[in-house]
Structure 1
Amino acid sequence: MSLLDAATNVQSKAYAPYSNFKVGAAIRGASGAIYAGCNVENVAYPEGTCAEAGAIATMVAAGETQLTEVVVIADSPLPVSPCGGCRQKLAEFSGPETVVTMTTLEGNSKSLTMAELLPGAFTQAHMENS
């Protein structure tokens, strides 16, 4: 199964009764395994979980802490990019060269590196004197 297939499959399972905006994400761990997540909304809006965060949590629960590739998909006219919080979460487990592909159900896609998505990312290097 490809990352796109995994993200597409999980996107349809998103729980989005308030926004009706379903997002799926799939990440490839350093082992090559694929982890997927979807957004899960909550009536106490905005206390939901983003698709990227769900995929990362699944990866970490499986014992991995390094990702090498990301796909995010939504039923949107334009490729949907990870929110600011998810960009920071993705940066925690990837490198600046990691490719994030954002796509729509219709196949309109755009790929950027983490460095392009989150220039000047806050990293562990900022914490070295702590």
Structure 2
Amino acid sequence: MRRLPGNVDMRERLLWVAAASSGFVMVLAGAFGAHGLEGQVSERLLAAFETGVRYQAWHTLAILLILIQRQQQATPGQLLVLGLWATGILLFSGSLYLMALTGVRALGMITPIGGVSFLAGWLALAAVVWRTRL
């Protein structure tokens, strides 16, 4: 893997950029939900949108914590955890955002797949920690 200045390889830099981008989208979505959607969509769809923002916020924070930990000790399985959580953000939060914006409730069928990705990521993290000497 090609090393960049600061002793961070390209893959690690891309992970940081993805996490920062998720944080940006999360803040933007939260502001849009609070100021742009209120009164424009049903309370139920607004609540779903806000749930997407909340789950994206927590998982973006968790991704950042794993990335910080990787700077000290990268361990096998961490990339799987990050991938599962990123998939969860895209499918869970993304489907809720699209459902609220379009009113297409069928998009809600995607949401549980994202939820399972979040859950699988947490189980994978437990396995990584279990196998790692701390």
Query: Which range, TM-score by smaller chain?
Result: under 0.3
Higher relative contact order (CA 8 A, sep 6+): 2
Q: Normalising by the residue count of structure 2, what TM-score does the alignment of the two structures yield?
A: 0.25
Which structure has the larger Rg over C-alpha atoms? Answer: 2
Q: Normalising by the residue count of structure 1, what TM-score does the alignment of the two structures yield?
A: 0.26
Query: Going by fraction, where is helix more abundant, 1 or 2?
Result: 2
